[in-house]
Amino acid sequence: MDTSKLEFLRGTLDVLILKALVWGPLHGYAVTNFIRRQSDDAFLLEEGTLYPALWRLESKGLLGSEWGLSENNRKAKFYRLTPEGRRQLRYEVKTWQAYAAAVAKVLAATQLPEPEEVR
C-alpha cells in the first residue's frame, strides 16, 4: 500500500458517508467505492472500518436501511439518508468548508503579519 496517502482523519468518514448517500440509497460496498473513487484513492481506507461507521450512523437515526437486491442480484443492505441525516450533512459540510478555508488561509500566508496594535 502506498504510505504517502493521507491518513484518514477520524470523524471525517461520517461526513463522507453522508455525502455518498445524497443521490439515493447505496449498499456499503458502493459507499466504499464512491469514497475511493471520489478521493482518487487519496484516503487510506481499510474497507472494513466503513461498516461500524455506517451502523453507528444508522443507530443514531441519520441513516435508514433496507434489504434489497444489488446490481448483480445479490441481497444487500441499502442505506439511505434520513431527513435528519440530510440536515447533519449540510451542517458538517458547512463546518468542514469553514475549517478548510481557515487552514488554507493560514497556509497561504507569505510573510508574518504586522503585529496588532496594542493600546
Main-chain phi, psi angles of 80, to 5 degrees: -140, 160
Q: Residue 1: what residue type? A: M
Q: Is 41 near other proteins (CB under 8 A)?
A: no
Q: Is 77 near other proteins (CB under 8 A)?
A: yes
Candidates 39, 58, 82, 86; binder of other proteins (CB under 8 A) is 58
Candidates 29, 91, 96, 99; binder of other proteins (CB under 8 A) is 29
Q: Is 10 near other proteins (CB under 8 A)?
A: no
Q: Is 70 near other proteins (CB under 8 A)?
A: yes
Q: How far is CA 51 from CA 31, 36, 46, 90, 100, in A?
A: 10, 15, 10, 22, 26
Q: Is 40 near other proteins (CB under 8 A)?
A: no
Give dist(CA 93, CA 20) in Å, integer. Answer: 13
Candidates 2, 3, 37, 72; binder of other proteins (CB under 8 A) is 72
110's CB contacts (< 8 A; 6+ apart) are none
Q: Which is nearer to other proteins, 21 or 103 (CB)?
A: 21
A 10 A CB-CB count for 25 gives 16
Span 83-102, contacts to other proteins by CB under 8 A: none
Give dist(CA 102, CA 108) in Å, integer. Answer: 10
Candidates 34, 39, 64, 76; binder of other proteins (CB under 8 A) is 76
Q: Is 56 near other proteins (CB under 8 A)?
A: yes
